[in-house]
């Protein structure tokens, strides 16, 4: 009998996964631990390896299908029984296996100049990130134009970013595919499908309230400049994250959610940080943010954002947030009404810091102003609590030195 490989429990309580891309087809010979399929779970892509060596018989679904844990993913004839025969290989589809043909290395597939996202598995993207290799500069030789580990080895140091001239973090993320789609009907799947389901759930279940405000960011920017002069990197976003963690400790009801007609107050302070990527919006999680200082937070957020944009996040990196910050100001926005993610009670939105007229000691002067908004679940958070929570964060943002002395 063939070996039946069912969708495993990938962890973190996930019970379903979407088939993103099959890496094998019926009739293909696979080795043990060879990647079979790329699946999407809660916005994170993962490759599932083959538990056995053998010949692929059938696939358990088409690309875009949603499977539940325990569903048949693939059937493989592993040679343990002669009862099930592998389907004959189609020479037209796989000429290397046709009689009389000698297998040869697949031809190199040049990356198109249009700037499309290179095809690579999450593991390869993570490896490229660790090696500092730009995947867009790598020539792929894998099936369907996918980049392999051997391609990274062949790329060599010439595809590695220069260590002396680090690229500045992008202020605005935009790609050639932004907002592009051909006329007609398209399946709502992938990352966009996950976003759609989460946002619809939040908007239908959570009664939102929002409060808008702005603050003088002079000392916030001065703090960043002074730290840079001391050789330390700090970003306004990191300051906001630390300030939020401190406020959540002061007001634990904001670090909570409604679950099954009960109030669940989270034991940990895990902050979600919204990141715009080519595949859509993802929210990696900064775990135990209340234990990090502003410098460690800056480094950790930078790493999470880079992994998000390179597509190397794991499912665990996207789960467990108890509060979210969205910095739409990095995209040029001033105001927004962000939607609270499921399992949380509040969200903090930051706009773009810009010079604006403001009143200081009765005189109109020009100062850098940070607009921001807080959204909260009105089932848990009333106006007085929301304003107290907001004031706690404002105090830290207007005088960031408080974060260094623990005031």
- pLDDT tens digits, 290-304: 999 999 999 999 999
Q: Do 259 and 382 fall within a single domain?
A: yes
Cβ-proximal residues to 217 (8 Å cutoff; 6+ apart), any chain: 236, 353, 367, 368, 369, 370, 397, 398
| Residue 260 placed within a domain | yes
Q: Do 18 and 64 fall within a single domain?
A: yes
Q: What is the CATH number of the domain that holds 26?
A: 2.40.50.100
| Residue 300 placed within a domain | yes
333 in Cβ contact with 309 (< 8 Å): no
Q: Residue 107: its pLDDT value, please? A: 42
Domain boundary among 161, 179, 199: 161
Instruction: Read off the pLDDT of residues 243-285 as tens digits, 9 standing for 90 and up.
Output: 999 999 999 999 999 998 999 999 999 999 999 887 788 899 9
| Residue 312 placed within a domain | yes
Domain boundary among 124, 139, 161: 161
Q: Residue 250: its pLDDT value, please? A: 97
125 in Cβ contact with 312 (< 8 Å): yes
Q: Residue 401: its pLDDT value, please? A: 92
Domain boundary among 59, 74, 97: 97
Q: Do 262 and 384 fall within a single domain?
A: yes
Cβ-proximal residues to 407 (8 Å cutoff; 6+ apart), any chain: none
| Residue 227 placed within a domain | yes
User: Which range marks the domain in which residue 133 is found?
Assistant: 105-161
Instruction: Name the one residue in this structure whose structure tokens are 């992008």.
Output: 170
Q: Do 119 and 63 fall within a single domain?
A: no
34 in Cβ contact with 49 (< 8 Å): yes
Q: Do 249 and 265 fall within a single domain?
A: yes
Q: Do 113 and 246 fall within a single domain?
A: no
Classify residue 309 by its DSSP letter. H
| Residue 221 placed within a domain | yes
- pLDDT classification of 359: cutoffs 50, 70, 90: very high
pLDDT at 126 over 80: no
Q: Do 127 and 251 fall within a single domain?
A: no
Q: Do 70 and 114 fall within a single domain?
A: no
Token pair for residue 165? Answer: 């001239």
- pLDDT classification of 143: cutoffs 50, 70, 90: low
Instruction: Read off the pLDDT of residues 44-99 as tens digits, 9 standing for 90 and up.
Output: 777 889 999 999 999 999 988 889 889 999 999 986 553 333 344 444 434 443 44
Q: Do 139 and 272 fall within a single domain?
A: no
Q: Do 282 and 320 fall within a single domain?
A: yes
Cβ-proximal residues to 36 (8 Å cutoff; 6+ apart), any chain: 5, 22, 23, 24, 30, 47, 48, 49, 50, 73, 74
Which of 68, 208, 266, 378 is flagged as catalytic?
378
pLDDT at 12 over 70: no
| Residue 182 placed within a domain | no
| Residue 246 placed within a domain | yes
pLDDT at 6 over 60: yes
| Residue 392 placed within a domain | yes
Token pair for residue 175? Answer: 């790609």
Crossing angle between the packed helical segments 236-250 and 218-229, to the nearest 10 degrees: 120
Per the annotation, the verdict on 68 as an active-site residue is no
DSSP string, 31-44: -TT-EEEEEEETTE
pLDDT at 224 over 80: yes
DSSP string, 187-247: ---HHHHHHHHHHHHHHHH--EEEEEEEEE-HHHHHHHHHHHHTT----HHHHHHHHHHHH
pLDDT at 237 over 50: yes
Q: What is the CATH number of the domain that holds 265?
A: 3.30.559.10
Instruction: Name the one residue in this structure whose structure tokens are 């999450």.
Output: 122
Domain count, the chain: 3
pLDDT at 386 over 90: yes
Q: Do 153 and 212 fall within a single domain?
A: no
Q: Do 153 and 234 fall within a single domain?
A: no
């Amino acid at each position: 009998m063939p070996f039946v490989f069912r969708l495993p429990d990938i962890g973190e309580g996930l019970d379903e996964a979407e088939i993103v891309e099959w890496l094998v087809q019926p009739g293909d010979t696979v080795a043990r631990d060879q990647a079979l399929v790329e699946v999407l779970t809660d916005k994170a892509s993962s490759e599932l390896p083959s538990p056995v060596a053998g010949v692929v018989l059938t696939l358990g679904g088409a690309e875009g299908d949603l499977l539940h844990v325990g569903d048949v993913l693939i059937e493989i004839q592993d040679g343990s029984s002669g009862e099930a025969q592998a389907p004959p290989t189609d020479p037209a589809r796989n000429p290397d296996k046709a009689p009389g043909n000698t297998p040869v290395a697949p031809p190199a597939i040049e990356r198109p100049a249009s700037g499309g996202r290179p095809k690579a598995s999450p593991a390869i993207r993570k490896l490229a990130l660790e090696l500092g290799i730009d995947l867009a500069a790598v020539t792929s030789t894998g099936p369907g134009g996918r980049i392999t580990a051997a391609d990274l080895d062949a790329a060599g140091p010439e595809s590695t970013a220069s260590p002396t001239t680090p690229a500045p973090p992008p202020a605005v993320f935009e790609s050639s595919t932004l907002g592009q789609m051909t006329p007609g009907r398209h399946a709502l799947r992938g990352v966009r499908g996950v976003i759609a389901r989460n946002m619809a759930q939040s908007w239908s279940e959570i009664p939102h309230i929002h409060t808008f405000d702005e603050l003088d960011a002079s000392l916030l920017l001065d703090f960043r400049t002074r730290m840079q002069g001391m050789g330390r990197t700090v970003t306004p976003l990191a300051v906001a994250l630390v300030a939020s963690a401190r406020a959540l400790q002061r007001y634990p009801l904001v670090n909570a959610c409604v679950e099954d007609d009960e109030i669940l107050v989270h034991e940990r302070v895990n902050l979600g940080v919204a990141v715009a990527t080519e595949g859509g919006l993802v929210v990696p999680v900064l775990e135990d943010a209340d234990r990090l200082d502003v410098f460690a937070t800056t480094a950790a957020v930078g790493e999470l954002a880079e992994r998000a944009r390179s597509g190397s996040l794991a499912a665990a990196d996207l789960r467990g947030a108890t509060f979210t910050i969205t910095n739409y100001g990095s995209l040029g926005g001033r105001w927004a009404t962000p939607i609270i993610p499921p399992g949380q009670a509040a969200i903090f939105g930051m706009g773009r810091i810009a010079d604006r007229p403001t009143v200081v000691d009765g005189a109109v002067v020009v100062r850098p102003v940070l607009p921001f908004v807080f959204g909260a679940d009105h089932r848990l958070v009333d106006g007085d609590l929301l304003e107290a929570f907001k004031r706690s964060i404002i105090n830290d943002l207007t005088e960031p030195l408080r974060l260094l002395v623990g005031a």
